[in-house]
Amino acid sequence: MGLECKSRGSESRFGAYVEAITSVLGHADRAAPFRSYCAGLLLPGDRKSVEPMAARVEPGRVQAAHQSLHHFVAKADWSEDTVLAAVRTRVLPIIERRGPIRALIVDDTSMPKKGKHSVGVARQYSGQLGKQDNCQVAVSLSAANDHASLPIAYRLYLPHEWSDDPARRAKAGVPDDIVFQTKPQIALDQLRAVRAAGIEADVVLADAGYGNDTDFRDSIAEIGLPYAVGIQSSTSLWPPGVQPLPPKPWSGRGRPTSAIRRDGAHQPISAKQMALELPKKAWRRVTWREGTNIKLAARFATVRVRPAHRDYKRSTPRPEEWCLIEWPTDEPEPTKYFLSTLPANISRRALVNTTKLRWRIERDYQDLKQELGLGHYEGRGWRGFHHHATLCIAAYGFLISEREAIPPSGPRHTLLVEEPRVSDGYRPRGSPDQT
């Protein structure tokens, strides 16, 4: 009984999980490499690129397994969108046992790279490194509740130096219909697609890299979802009780104007200025969840405002929405600002708890990178990049489905799939000869 039975149970569930998703791959001969690739991602190992995974899952025939896995991930013509849909069909109901999906969380993640040939690689901001460097960046969308989250869309951001270069596109196999899009534009396409697929959520969450974009916020509203998104402290707002001036009365000459106005004495203010002018009683301490060692808490203020960005081109003021401001007690000034179209009667605590749910996507990235090798793919092409990420998400979906079956103090991987013994003398390419 004990560990051995649990291991057999996990192995059986892994087989059923793989079989359910294999049905959408198109060809029966893709079932074996799909299972092997997911097993290789789940098994322990420093590298989750093709060759070391081949050695782990089929140590008796490493070269043949390497060729099979490489063809499956880099060459085979299967749809990552269809596989991701199968994963979410299988996994989201498991997540929803603990409550409905509360949020669709937008974010991006970077994979540092050397050289210039991997698809989409360019000198750009890397969140992983915290600076500009050579990397690939992908935009993703996660569905989350308080218990768990699952990435349900994932796409590479293609900078202008790639999207506008036919030779580089052709060499990397970038599809003809892929044109330059900003990260917020990619995220909006993902949101529209999952909404069309019938996925419901209470709110869209994103950091200031997306929330600063007024068109992004407006488009979420057009999709029919509330949002709670980060903004910069410099964002211009009309504070409570203040709004733009009405259009100028028509003088009877020229064309009448319908644009709302501002003048030298009537201007919006920055979110930071508004925050610093709030009275002391506007701030309340809110605890939103347990951290690793302590409860996470800060002071928050909530204010009803109207965003002011380029509203002088509009005929009516923007609707009121929430501005949520975070001011940790050990900081000299507020540190984070958010805009939200959640209901006007929402409590401060509920607004904070919802906005802070964005941490779930950071957990997704942490597990996908540290546990499942999301950034380990060594190929250079568009198809392989997206296939590898899709398979990482499929393996992650199995991890989510297994969490209730694994004791919290137990080893994470050994209960999932059986690990074959690597043959004596196997040495991955590029590693030193120990003899």
DSSP conformation letters of 389-413: HHHHHHHHHHHHHHGGGS-TTS-SS
Provide the sign of the torsion angle of the four alpha carbons 193, 196, 199, 200, taken in this order. Answer: positive
Q: What is the pLDDT of residue 27?
A: 86
Radius of gyration of the chain (CA): 25
CB-side exposure of 145: number of CA atoms within 13 Å? 15
Spell out the residues 6+ positions from residue 99 whose beta carbon is closer than 8 angstroms to its own. Answer: 145, 146, 147
Q: What is the pTM of this model?
A: 0.89
- Give pLDDT < 70 ranges for the chain: 1-8, 250-252, 254-256, 290-293, 404-435
Tell me, what's the pLDDT at 412?
46
What is the spatial distance between Cα 334 and Cα 301, in angstroms, rounded to a whole number? 10
Q: How far apart are CA 238 and CA 130, in angstroms?
A: 33
Q: Quick check: 361 and 105 in contact, CB under 8 A?
A: yes
DSSP letter for each residue of 242-260? --PBPPPPP-SSS------
Predicted confidence (pLDDT) per residue in 168-195, tens digit: 999 999 999 999 999 999 999 999 999 9
| pLDDT score recorded for residue 290 | 64
Angle at 366 between CA 364 and CA 371, to 5 degrees: 100
CA-based nearest residue to 140, from 222, 196, 210, 42: 210
- Going by DSSP bridges, is the β-strand pair 103-112/203-206 parallel, antiparallel, or unpaired? parallel
One-letter amino acid identity for 151? P
* 116: its two tokens: 């210039």
Concatenated DSSP letters of 139-176: EEEEEE-SS-EEEEEEEE---HHHHT-HHHHHHHT--T
DSSP-derived letter for residue 24 is T
Structure confidence at residue 130 (pLDDT): 83
Strand 336-340 to strand 227-231: parallel, antiparallel, or no bridges (unpaired)? antiparallel
pLDDT of residue 46: 85
Q: What is the pLDDT of residue 235?
A: 97
Q: How far apart are CA 268 and CA 309, in angstroms?
A: 9
Distance CA 48, CA 421 (A): 17
Dihedral of CA atoms 202, 208, 212, 215 in degrees, nearest 10, equals -40
Contacts of 219 (CB under 8 A, 6+ apart): 188
